[in-house]
């Protein structure tokens, strides 16, 4: 079975992790944590980085550090990972959803303003599957209505919006370094921010609300969301190799597009003029006319030795959230269609050209016979 994803680990990773083991700095102090924070923040064009234990934790403390009044509303896309909604709920706020853009699958910026109320405090754009959201209209709304922008750039490491790094476009940028992300520390995450006062609060929230100088003095209710030096060592090594990882993704995206764009009934992720996306995962959305949904294609590809992953299921379709009385009667047709018709193909950093050919052969074998539906 050709896996959907696999991290690429090399000599530099081994060297840095070995240094942790040999020096005994394996926990949440040591030189790699600050080095990784600084290097990642700099890469994103932002002054401060606060490393945390995972991307969900990054979102959670990013929202909490803003200290909005209880019941404040935060606008986010329905088509995203559940961590975004959890971060809003755990801070005592209300998630307000917007449908996906049918071309780029990120939040539909034209539908945001209609969702703004007197309780709205923030907007959370998510750069879905590596394609940047059109952030300028969001910045304009944020200025007009005095809102904070919290980006989720977990899937867009290295992507650019009008030449600026995703994650560094708003007030707070959140990253995950989970195993399937471009840069991985196994589990891990980071919040980047241009604001020193946010960075200071994020550091306290990550470490049990601890006072920066007086040990065992706690100034607020925090969490243990610390990253270890071992993980940061991995992260720094990965970051030093990011150009080659990005080059692999560019090759992969172009090679897939070349073979698959000629097949009937497939929508591939568009590339808007403002965007330099990264092909985090190579995604397909099946046309309804094919008479084949993503679940069925996934089953058939698995039988041909190709692993896939389905698209997100919208937040408004999540039992865990609906059980709390959220999103009753709300419909988001673009997100619902993406959830039904979308999947992604093996896109890992260790995928070889011949494996990639095998994947294309399998997709072609399933879709080519359906071409008659388009005559």
Ligand X SMILES: *Cc1c(COP(=O)(O)O)cnc(C)c1O
Q: Is 101 in the site for ligand X (CB under 6 A)?
A: no
Burial of 97 (0-12, 13-18, 19+ CB in 10 A): buried
Note whether 120 and 113 are within 8 A (CB). Answer: no
Q: Is 60 in the site for ligand X (CB under 6 A)?
A: no
Residue 54 CB, nearest approach to ligand X (Å): 4
Q: Is 158 in the site for ligand X (CB under 6 A)?
A: no
What is the strand order of the sheet 309-310 is part of? 266-267, 282-286, 342-345, 309-310
Residue 231 CB, nearest approach to ligand X (Å): 11
Task: Map residues 312-341 to x or -, x wherever contact with ligand X holds by CB under 6 A.
Answer: ------------------------------
Q: Is 56 in the site for ligand X (CB under 6 A)?
A: yes
Residue 257 CB, nearest approach to ligand X (Å): 22
Q: How far is CA 53 from the centre of its chain?
A: 15
Of 41, 66, 124, 126, which one interacts with ligand X (CB under 6 A)? 126
Which two three-digit tokens encode residue 350? 């260790």
SS3 per residue for 248-283: HHHHHHHHHHHHHCCCCCEECCCCCCCEECCCCCEE
Note whether 237 and 15 are within 8 A (CB). Answer: yes
Span interacting with ligand X, options 20-28, 29-37, 151-159, 249-257, rule CB under 6 A? 151-159
- Residue least distant from ligand X (Cβ): 55
Instruction: Tell which residue, 85, 104, 83, 106, has the closest CA to residue 95.
Output: 85
Q: How far is CA 365 from the centre of its chain?
A: 31
Residue 144 CB, nearest approach to ligand X (Å): 26
* Residue closer to ligand X, measured from CB, 59 or 112: 59
Span interacting with ligand X, options 12-20, 37-45, 53-61, 205-213, rule CB under 6 A? 53-61
- Per-residue burial over 131-142, b = 16 or more CB atoms within 10 Å of its CB, e = otherwise: bbbbbeebeebb
Q: Is 80 in the site for ligand X (CB under 6 A)?
A: yes
Of 5, 72, 78, 176, which one interacts with ligand X (CB under 6 A)? 176
Residue 56 CB, nearest approach to ligand X (Å): 3
Q: Is 122 in the site for ligand X (CB under 6 A)?
A: no
* Residue closer to ligand X, measured from CB, 83 or 308: 83
Note whether 366 and 24 are within 8 A (CB). Answer: no
Cα separation, 6 vs 178, whole angstroms: 11
Residue 69 CB, nearest approach to ligand X (Å): 25
Residue 202 CB, nearest approach to ligand X (Å): 16
* Residue closer to ligand X, measured from CB, 186 or 264: 186
Which two three-digit tokens encode residue 122? 């923030």
Residue 75 CB, nearest approach to ligand X (Å): 16
Tally of CB atoms within 10 A around 152: 30
Note whether 209 and 229 are within 8 A (CB). Answer: no
Contact set with ligand X (CB under 6 A):
54-56, 80-81, 83, 126, 152, 154-155, 176, 178, 189
């Amino acid at each position: 079975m050709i896996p959907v994803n696999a991290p690429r680990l090399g000599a530099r990773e081994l060297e840095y992790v070995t240094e942790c083991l040999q020096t005994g700095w394996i926990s949440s102090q040591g030189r790699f944590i600050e080095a990784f924070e600084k290097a990642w923040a700099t890469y994103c064009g932002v002054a401060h980085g606060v490393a945390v234990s995972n991307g969900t934790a990054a979102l959670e403390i990013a929202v909490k550090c803003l200290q909005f009044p209880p019941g404040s509303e935060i606008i986010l896309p329905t088509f995203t990972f559940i961590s975004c909604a959890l971060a809003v709920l755990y801070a005592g706020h209300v998630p307000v959803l917007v449908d996906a853009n049918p071309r780029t699958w990120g939040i539909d910026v034209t539908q945001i303003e209609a969702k703004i109320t007197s309780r709205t405090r923030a907007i959370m754009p998510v750069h879905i599957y590596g394609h940047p959201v059109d952030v300028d209209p969001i910045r304009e709304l944020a200025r007009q209505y005095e809102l904070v922008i919290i980006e989720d750039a977990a899937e867009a490491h290295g992507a650019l919006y009008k030449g600026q790094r995703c994650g560094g476009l708003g007030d707070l940028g959140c990253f995950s370094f989970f195993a399937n992300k471009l840069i991985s520390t196994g589990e891990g995450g980071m919040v980047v921010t241009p604001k020193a006062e946010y960075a200071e609060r994020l550091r306290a929230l990550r470490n049990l609300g601890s006072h920066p100088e007086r040990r065992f003095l706690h100034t607020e209710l925090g969490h243990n969301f610390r990253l270890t030096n071992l993980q940061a060592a991995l992260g720094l090594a990965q970051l030093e190799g990011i150009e080659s990882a990005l080059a692999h993704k560019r090759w992969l995206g172009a090679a897939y597009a070349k073979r698959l764009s000629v097949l009937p009934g497939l929508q591939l992720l568009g590339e808007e003029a403002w965007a330099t996306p990264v092909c985090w995962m190579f995604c397909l959305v099946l046309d309804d006319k094919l008479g084949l949904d993503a679940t069925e294609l996934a089953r058939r590809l698995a039988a041909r030795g190709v692993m896939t992953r389905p698209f997100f299921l919208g937040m408004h379709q999540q039992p865990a959230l609906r059980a709390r009385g959220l999103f009753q009667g709300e419909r988001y047709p673009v997100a619902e269609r993406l959830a039904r018709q979308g999947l992604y193909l093996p896109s890992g950093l260790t995928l070889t050209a011949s494996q990639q050919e095998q994947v294309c052969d399998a997709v072609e074998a399933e879709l080519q016979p359906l071409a008659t539906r388009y005559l």
